[in-house]
Structure 1
Amino acid sequence: MDQKSPDPASADGVDETDRPAQQPGGGGFGETLRTILYALLIAVVVRTFLYEPFNIPSGSMIPTLLEGDYLFVSKLSYGYSRYSFPFSAGPFDGRVMGDQPERGDVAVFRKPTDTDIDFIKRIVGLPGDRIQVVRGVLHINGEPVTRRRVEDFELSSGRRVPQYVETLPNGVQHRILEERGDNGALDNTPVYTVPAGHYFAMGDNRDNSRDSRVLGVVGYVPFENLIGRAEILFWSVEEDVVLWFPWTWPSGIRFGRLFDAVE
Structure 2
Amino acid sequence: MSNTATQPLAPNDLKDRVKVSYDAIAETYSKFTKAHDNTRLHYGTKLLGHWVSKHGMQPTALELGCGAGGPATELLIEHGFHVTGNDISAIQLELAKANLVKHDKYFTAIQGDMMELDFPIASFDVVFGLFSIIHLPRQEQRVLVKRVFNWLRPCGVFLANFSKDAVEVEIIEKWLGEEQGWMFWSGWGEDGSVNMVEEAGLEVLMKEVRDEGVQEHFVWVLGKKNDGSGSEAAL
Q: TM-score with structure 2 length normalisation? A: 0.23
TM-score relative to the length of structure 1? 0.22
The structure carrying a bigger helix percent of its residues is: 2
Larger Rg: 1
